[in-house]
Structure 1
Amino acid sequence: MASAAEQLLANLRFDTFHKATDLHKRIGFTALAMVVYRIGCYIPIPGINISAFDQAFQGQAKGILGMVNMFSGGAVQRMAVFALGVMPYISASIIVQLLGTVYPPWEKLRKDGGEAGRKTLNQYTRYLTVVLGLFQAFGIAMGLQSGDGIVGHPGAVFMISTTIILTAGTMLLTWIGEQITSRGIGNGLSLIIFAGIVAVLPRSLFQMLSLARTGALPSAAVPAIVALAGLVVALIVFMERAQRRLLTQYPRGQQGNRMFGGEASFLPLKVNTSGVMAPIFASSLLLLPATAMGLLSAANLPPWAQWLPGAMGALQHGRPLFVVLYGVLIVFFCFFYTSVMFNPVEVAENLRKFGGFLPGLRPGKRTAQYLDFVLTRVTVVGAIYITAVCLLPELLIGYFNVPFYMGGTSILIVVSVTMDTVTQLQSHLVAHQYEGLIRKAKLRGRPRPLAPVAAE
């Protein structure tokens, strides 16, 4: 039987959306923020010879720079002010969350600090974002200056200005993402990455068709890739909605002459609890060491570091080292992010406080052990699914030698963020319709004013 919320969603009409003025403001703010982001992706940093940089970029477009360019919405190819994107912030979030599990003061903030502790950790994340942004921006500035004819006037002024501009662009994007989350629709950082992927995707499809027309790509591969993409999208939609439901019972009670409780509900455990964060975290960690080395040549390095550019060259899409590292990191972050987001001990304690229990299990420790047992096995299925979705296109890219990046991570992010945003839109519409029903009920419940008595 459908729930009340599902029945309400089935009866939503256009006039409901038309009357939701607060939702209109949220959508408008999100759209305006996306326009600002896309404008920043077309403003190049000062002192760059765009044509010379484009030639240097084309030689490495298939490697790590191709992935960075995909996530930044083409800003890397233009060397725009938003070229770093939000990857430094994501890397900082990874480090802070990892330290929050092993560093006692931060672990106490995360578990017992409440809202104040969460704000403190967020502030530490911003500080670390600045540090990582400065590091990556300085590495990019060095790489640009070492290129032939890329920088018009190399020197200290260019290094300092480029480092500051790229870091400031990352911090501005982070702030825009936070504003979208609080005042717009959806998760701001995820929407920024989503907008970057969608902006680059048409160009990638056009390149694929051009390669098929010139014979560089087999013509039969195009419909096969399109069909495979459709199957991957269907799999993502199915798995993102998949849940393992645990039956939960609440005891019956009596208060006066009224009986209450005795209800049965379900505790849903998502198959993919980590969502898109696991592949994003894995991509960010792979990008962190390679960003500073992507444009450097061995001649600019000391003798003991001559091997670094060659090692970074092994991190190409479809290469065995990249596939193995990417898969291992995805599996690790699936389990890590799930452990951060879902605490079996806390959930079992909350069930015990409200009188709920799982049939056949004693409340407390035994329930927590069972929740951890089920969640671990569900996460195994989710990790296999995410790893397969992200690595299958990588293997195909290596097999067909496609010179542009179109990976499973981008498809996963696009589909997942779209589903999450649509869910939030539906939630706002349901809340608005409930408010309207409650308002009508209150008006109906008011006593009618007495009719005036005519004077005799």
Structure 2
Amino acid sequence: MIDAFQNIFRIPELKKRVLFSLGMLAVYRVGCHIPTPGIDSNALAHFFAQARGTLLGLFDMFSGGALEKLTVFALGIMPYISSSIIFQLLTVVVPSIEKLSKEGESGRKKIIQYTRYGTIVLSVVQALGISIGLESMRGPAGELVVPNPGWGFRLMTVITLTAGTAFIMWLGEQMSEKGIGNGISLIIFAGIVARIPTALLNTGRLIKTGQLSLFVILLVVALMFLVIAAIVYVERGQRRLPIHYAKRVVGLKTYGGQTSHLPLKVNMAGVIPPIFASSIIMFPATVANFINVPWVQTVAKSLTPGNLAYEIFYVAFIIFFCYFYTAVSFNPVDVAENVKKHGGYIPGIRPGKETSDYLDRVLTKLTFAGALYISAVCVLPSVLVGKFNLPFYFGGTALLIAVGVGMDTAAQIESHLITRSYEGFMKGVRVRGGR
């Protein structure tokens, strides 16, 4: 590992990209500590202490704690993610957007531009809702979270939070273009990892006070490494379907005749299913913080982590969204047509409809296995919190994102190193016909 890090800094281009990404992440973390004007921070902290296990807690996790402090980056990158998902779903529903997605690079740029506009619209709506909601919140002594409510505060909050989200979006795009890895994913990763030191300090305090034993901590650490290993193993798992290409004679040349494969991942949907499932199932608990109605409070308590109803609905929603998002992102009919168009076929399967049906059957089985795997990882935190009373949110969506982003970034760094090695092999070699 030490040699690998040394190789990174031996390559000037890769070193520049890595340092650029780290610098942009440092700028993001500084912005997460710049508060929005007009807020009583103590009263707001008390409110968020009561909002654990709600949508606010989920969004605060993705913003790296910026929402809890209501900083200029309080909305985080969630509006951009929501806008991207919306346009990805519209690609299947709206023919004009589907046509754009098939126009190559120019169409992709237009969709990205529409995604940016959608991000700004969602940011304005969410910021306005947050500003209105803050005006009705009170601290432990009954003091207002917003000492001077009104349209002046609302307009200032909307402009500040929307500008913060737009700046984060720009940071992510710059990191993807000039840095290493996917910028948006790295920003989410930084927000999740930033909470680890606080969690470790809280765990140390519980050990000192005797509320947690050292044996339990060691057991949880061992379990953590096992879960991370399982996530890496499953995320890299593929079902490779062999594809044979028939020989074609074009003029005096013969093309094709080779054998390839179609890789199908076990988890095709990624982390989208647990995010959607958490958003839906946490909605009653979020509403209960603003509406003091008995039956709403009862429903909210039954749908909190640790209760049987919460776990059942959570797993059911994860399985549903795994199938739904996989169907949206992977179309067996289009894949079968593309394979047939290039003269390919799966051995023992006729090209066309039989190939698409076969792909659909294989994908259905893989999606079910992937849904069970995601459900197991996401339910694990509730078991740890309920049984061991751990003070940090281990596993679930956060762990899936952290491990996935780490694997993708490491793969990009490795590809740069391999490319550099290939260039090194070619140094001093005289190519025939060259000067």
Q: Same fold (TM over 0.5)?
A: yes
Q: 1:238 aligns with which of 226, 233, 239?
A: 233
Match in the other structure for 1:162? 157
Cα distance in 2 between the residues matched to 1:158 and 1:185: 39
Paired AA for residue 194 in structure 1: F
Match in the other structure for 1:417? 405
Which one is further off, 430-439 or 353-362? 430-439
Match in the other structure for 1:133? 123
Give the direction of change, closer, same or farther, for the CA distance of 1:167–1:356 in structure 2 (3 Å limit).
Answer: same
Q: How does 1:374-413 map to 2 (within 5 A)?
A: 374-402=362-390, 404-413=392-401
Cα distance in 1 between the residues matched to 2:155 and 2:294: 26
Report how far residue 37 of structure 1 moved: 0.7
Match in the other structure for 1:6? none
Paired AA for residue 204 in structure 2: L
Which one is further off, 413-422 or 274-283? 274-283
- Listed as ranges, the gaps of 5+ residues in structure 2 are none
3-state SS of 1:223 partner: helix
Question: Is 1:278 paired with 2:273?
Answer: yes
3-state SS of 2:262 partner: strand
Q: Which deviations, in whole Å up to 9, do the C-alpha atoms of 1:24-77 show, x marking residues without a partner?
A: 222122111101110111111112222332233223345443332222112123
Question: Is 1:121 paired with 2:111?
Answer: yes
Which one is further off, 32-41 or 161-170? 161-170
Report how far residue 257 of structure 1 moved: 9.5
Paired-residue identity, %: 49
Which one is further off, 250-259 or 131-140? 250-259
Match in the other structure for 2:290? 296
Report how far residue 437 of structure 1 moved: 4.1
Q: How does 1:366-381 map to 2 (within 5 A)?
A: 366-381=354-369
Kept in 1, the 8 Å contact 2:55–2:283? The answer is: no
How many correspondences in the alignment? 429
Cα distance in 1 between the residues matched to 2:162 and 2:315: 29
Cα distance in 1 between the residues matched to 2:320 and 2:185: 20
TM-score using structure 1 length: 0.83
Kept in 1, the 8 Å contact 2:54–2:283? The answer is: no
Cα distance in 2 between the residues matched to 1:218 and 1:414: 27
Match in the other structure for 2:171? 176
Give the direction of change, closer, same or farther, for the CA distance of 1:129–1:306 in structure 2 (3 Å limit).
Answer: farther
Cα distance in 1 between the residues matched to 2:315 and 2:173: 29
Report how far residue 108 of structure 1 moved: 3.9
Give the direction of change, closer, same or farther, for the CA distance of 1:122–1:329 in structure 2 (3 Å limit).
Answer: farther
Match in the other structure for 2:181? 186
Which has the higher relative contact order, 1 or 2, with Cα contacts under 8 A spaced 6 or more apart? 1
Kept in 2, the 8 Å contact 1:251–1:261? The answer is: yes
Paired AA for residue 24 in structure 1: K
Kept in 1, the 8 Å contact 2:120–2:162? The answer is: yes
Kept in 1, the 8 Å contact 2:64–2:194? The answer is: yes
Kept in 1, the 8 Å contact 2:38–2:153? The answer is: yes
Question: Is 1:87 paired with 2:81?
Answer: no
3-state SS of 1:181 partner: helix
Cα distance in 1 between the residues matched to 2:237 and 2:283: 33
Cα distance in 1 between the residues matched to 2:308 and 2:164: 34
Cα distance in 2 between the residues matched to 1:123 and 1:91: 14
TM-score using structure 2 length: 0.86
Report how far residue 173 of structure 1 moved: 1.3
3-state SS of 1:265 partner: strand
Kept in 2, the 8 Å contact 1:65–1:294? The answer is: no
Paired AA for residue 445 in structure 1: R
Cα distance in 2 between the residues matched to 1:317 and 1:134: 31
Report how far residue 414 of structure 1 moved: 1.0
Report how far residue 377 of structure 1 moved: 1.1
Paired AA for residue 273 in structure 1: M
Report how far residue 389 of structure 1 moved: 0.8
Match in the other structure for 2:38? 47
Report how far residue 258 of structure 1 moved: 8.4
Cα distance in 1 between the residues matched to 2:321 and 2:397: 14
